[in-house]
A and B are shown apart, each in its own frame.
Chain A
């Protein structure tokens, strides 16, 4: 009998040796004359356990990890093909607390299936959402999304259904669905995991969006730093087309939806929606002034839905199981689940999809297991490079959009980057300005000039020059950037800077700090 063994093809798993493990398993199976079928699945999102190998047994899948290629022979000797005990054995995969305690709606199939096997997708409810949508009119689909409470997962949290309705209500004609897969935020990888682990679901969500608003063309703008995601998405689009779920006649409905995959070219600002649209038109990624909004005047001047990968990949489950089902998760005005990403100096980094309302502390301590270094926790940056730093006391915040905003922070794309007590928060504030300097599109002065001036001023503080006056100057600069920038690149760079200054003032007091003033800027 052939035993099915899963070895992830996710690029993070491959970055720590999954390919070599898959190869070693094939070689050992061959040498021992046992029939093994290796399935390259997505990642379960428990990255400290990668490469995570799973074996299909009579009682379900059992996991081993982290497996090195050198462990494989011993795993065969121990009888891992029947789920036998071994030092790397983790028991039934779904019983691992990190996974068991999640609510995986968007990520239901990621890590479970071969991402390019349509049959196993369908067996697990894939395409049910699209089939349901094909029986509805556009207005009803928009209403279902609005009713579900789904808000944009890319950063700003705008209600997806309302955006769709705006595009729906524009006169018929060319309209577009643009999926924002630029995922530039440090500390985030959820979009990548979807594209590499369950691309069909994202494409399904885009097709549903097309039906909802009357768009027949979709673009996925994927950052060039994600070559594996680009490849998997392209392959998935071809397979969907061959199966009749994309193209001129989706699901035999007579409706059409064509998908185009586009590569970015290494510009963080191209994650900002209007800059992304410029980039999709083949231009420099400079930010457009708003209004008009993309929903009215978007790609090539046509009404356009711009949504994040996670927003669109969540649409199918809403259509398949109903708005009420989705709405049943979450708290306050943040409905459903949020894919959080635990990153940086954290023992158990990975993807945690949970209903809104879980506290940052539960995420960092219970799921994350504290710092990777074993040193005390000092700070976490929430929501990417434009998000605020929080300290230990703030970890008790229950995560929803409004709570974070009330604490002068933001949830953003759900990245949580942990730092231990060796972090120098003045250096992080300086870096926030530096990043803005590197990635600014250059269109407006507060951002373009403010970032440079801000960086230089923090460097002066680090050297102990006129600290009080320079701290005030940084505060003023931040105010100018916040109020005078055209987009959130310049507008939110003050968030990490000011939160670092407010919560960790001792790091901005070089004369009194343990390390003393820096003699020269790095």
Chain B
């Protein structure tokens, strides 16, 4: 299977192995889904039956969990993921205008992925509310975010 194919099906993650690593414990479902997403970039529909089988859950139960939590992606994101905080403290420092500017610069709406592979998502508080507006770029926290600082962080994320 090519890399592109495995990315499409999400088969890059061996769901059974991940479940086994967590002792096939249904209470570890969130951790299992995180691990799968960390490996494959998203939680593919195709892996749900294997998880359900390993944990002795129904497919609906697994699906219910995947769909409940904001973290789990059902489709791959771009190689650069920018989470922009739009909670109150960041709003007080102009977060909404910043979000608009960042999206407009890439011609996408919040939640979308630009042609150059930047996914921009909302988030509600990153615990950096004294250095608002806050953002997270590929897991790295950015304080006092503005378009310039975000561009630098995105460049670093690619390199």
Q: Closest A-chain residue to B93, C-beta based?
A: A345
Q: Closest A-chain residue to B72, C-beta based?
A: A265
Q: Contacts of B25 on A, CB cut-off 8 Å?
A: 282
Residue A50 CB within 8 A of the other chain = yes
Contact between A423 and B34, CB atoms less than 8 A apart: no
Residue A454 CB within 8 A of the other chain = no
Contact between B143 and A15, CB atoms less than 8 A apart: yes
Q: Closest B-chain residue to A264, C-beta based?
A: B30
Interchain nearest-CB distance for A188 vs B (Å): 7
**Of A47, A189, A344, A350, which is within 8 A of B92 by CB?**
A344
Residue B31 CB within 8 A of the other chain = yes
Interchain nearest-CB distance for A99 vs B (Å): 15
Q: How far is the CA of A353 from the CA of B128 in the complex (A)?
A: 17
Given the known interface contacts A186-B124, A423-B92, A439-B124, the answer about A224 and B34 at a Cβ–Cβ threshold of 8 Å is yes
Contact between A12 and B139, CB atoms less than 8 A apart: no
Q: How far is the CA of A268 from the CA of B92 in the complex (A)?
A: 20
Q: Contacts of A372 on B, CB cut-off 8 Å?
A: 93
Q: Contacts of B144 on A, CB cut-off 8 Å?
A: 15-16
Q: How far is the CA of A184 from the CA of B126 in the complex (A)?
A: 8
Q: Closest A-chain residue to B149, C-beta based?
A: A16
Q: How far is the CA of A474 from the CA of B90 in the complex (A)?
A: 26
Q: How far is the CA of A12 from the CA of B131 in the complex (A)?
A: 7
**Of A12, A286, A381, which is within 8 A of B141 by CB?**
A12
Q: Contacts of B47 on A, CB cut-off 8 Å?
A: none
Residue B105 CB within 8 A of the other chain = no
Residues of B123-138 whose CB lies within 8 A of A = 123-132, 134, 136
Q: Contacts of A431 on B, CB cut-off 8 Å?
A: 88, 91
Q: Contacts of A300 on B, CB cut-off 8 Å?
A: 27
Q: Closest B-chain residue to A380, C-beta based?
A: B92
Residue B89 CB within 8 A of the other chain = yes
The total of chain A residues at the interface (CB under 8 A) is 61
Q: Contacts of A280 on B, CB cut-off 8 Å?
A: 27
Q: For the complex of A and B, list the 10 residue pairs with the smallest distance between their C-beta atoms, beginning with the closest.
A: A349-B130, A15-B143, A186-B87, A282-B29, A265-B69, A343-B129, A266-B70, A344-B92, A266-B71, A47-B130
Residue B75 CB within 8 A of the other chain = no
Given the known interface contacts A224-B71, A343-B89, A418-B92, the answer about A265 and B131 at a Cβ–Cβ threshold of 8 Å is no
Interchain nearest-CB distance for A65 vs B (Å): 13
Q: How far is the CA of A286 from the CA of B65 in the complex (A)?
A: 10
Q: Contacts of B141 on A, CB cut-off 8 Å?
A: 11-12, 14-15, 228
Contact between B134 and A282, CB atoms less than 8 A apart: no
> B-side interface residues toward A, CB under 8 Å?
25-31, 33-34, 55, 61, 64-65, 68-72, 87-93, 96, 123-132, 134, 136, 139-144
Residue A211 CB within 8 A of the other chain = no
Q: Contacts of A281 on B, CB cut-off 8 Å?
A: 26-27
**Of A186, A192, A262, A263, which is within 8 A of B89 by CB?**
A186
Residue A245 CB within 8 A of the other chain = no
Q: How far is the CA of A188 from the CA of B125 in the complex (A)?
A: 8
Q: How many A-B residue pairs have CB under 8 A?
A: 155
Q: Closest A-chain residue to B141, C-beta based?
A: A15
Contact between B89 and A283, CB atoms less than 8 A apart: no
Contact between B125 and A12, CB atoms less than 8 A apart: no
Interchain nearest-CB distance for B85 vs A (Å): 8
Contact between B130 and A225, CB atoms less than 8 A apart: no
Interchain nearest-CB distance for B33 vs A (Å): 7
Interchain nearest-CB distance for B155 vs A (Å): 15
Interchain nearest-CB distance for A313 vs B (Å): 16
**Of B70, B87, B125, which is within 8 A of A267 by CB?**
B70
Interchain nearest-CB distance for B69 vs A (Å): 4
Q: Closest A-chain residue to B68, C-beta based?
A: A284
Q: How far is the CA of A342 from the CA of B131 in the complex (A)?
A: 10
Contact between B30 and A279, CB atoms less than 8 A apart: yes
Contact between B128 and A263, CB atoms less than 8 A apart: no
Q: Closest A-chain residue to B69, C-beta based?
A: A265
Residues of A166-193 whose CB lies within 8 A of B = 183-189, 191-192
Interchain nearest-CB distance for A375 vs B (Å): 11
Q: How far is the CA of A435 from the CA of B144 in the complex (A)?
A: 23
Contact between A282 and B124, CB atoms less than 8 A apart: no
Sample of 14 A–B contacts (CB below 8 Å): A12-B141, A15-B142, A16-B131, A47-B130, A189-B130, A191-B127, A263-B34, A265-B33, A286-B68, A341-B129, A344-B92, A345-B93, A350-B130, A381-B88
Q: Closest B-chain residue to A192, C-beta based?
A: B127
**Besides the contacts A263-B31, A349-B132, A428-B88, what 20 more A-B pairs have beta carbons closer than 8 Å?**
A11-B141, A12-B143, A15-B128, A15-B134, A15-B140, A50-B143, A184-B124, A186-B87, A186-B89, A187-B87, A263-B30, A263-B34, A266-B123, A282-B55, A341-B129, A343-B129, A345-B92, A385-B88, A417-B88, A418-B92
Q: Closest A-chain residue to B122, C-beta based?
A: A438
Q: Contacts of B34 on A, CB cut-off 8 Å?
A: 224, 263, 265
Q: How far is the CA of A282 from the CA of B134 in the complex (A)?
A: 30
Given the known interface contacts A343-B132, A372-B93, A418-B92, the answer about A184 and B143 at a Cβ–Cβ threshold of 8 Å is no
Residue A415 CB within 8 A of the other chain = yes
Q: How far is the CA of A14 from the CA of B143 in the complex (A)?
A: 8
Q: Closest B-chain residue to A12, C-beta based?
A: B128
Q: Closest B-chain residue to A441, C-beta based?
A: B68
Q: How far is the CA of A16 from the CA of B55 in the complex (A)?
A: 42
Q: Contacts of B70 on A, CB cut-off 8 Å?
A: 265-267
Q: How far is the CA of A345 from the CA of B133 in the complex (A)?
A: 10
Q: Closest B-chain residue to A423, C-beta based?
A: B92
Contact between A186 and B130, CB atoms less than 8 A apart: no
Q: How far is the CA of A170 from the CA of B140 in the complex (A)?
A: 44
Q: Contacts of B134 on A, CB cut-off 8 Å?
A: 15
Q: Contacts of B129 on A, CB cut-off 8 Å?
A: 186-189, 341, 343-344, 349, 415, 417
Q: Interface readout for A418-439 with B: 1 if CB under 8 Å, 0 if not?
A: 1110010000100100010011
Residue A48 CB within 8 A of the other chain = yes
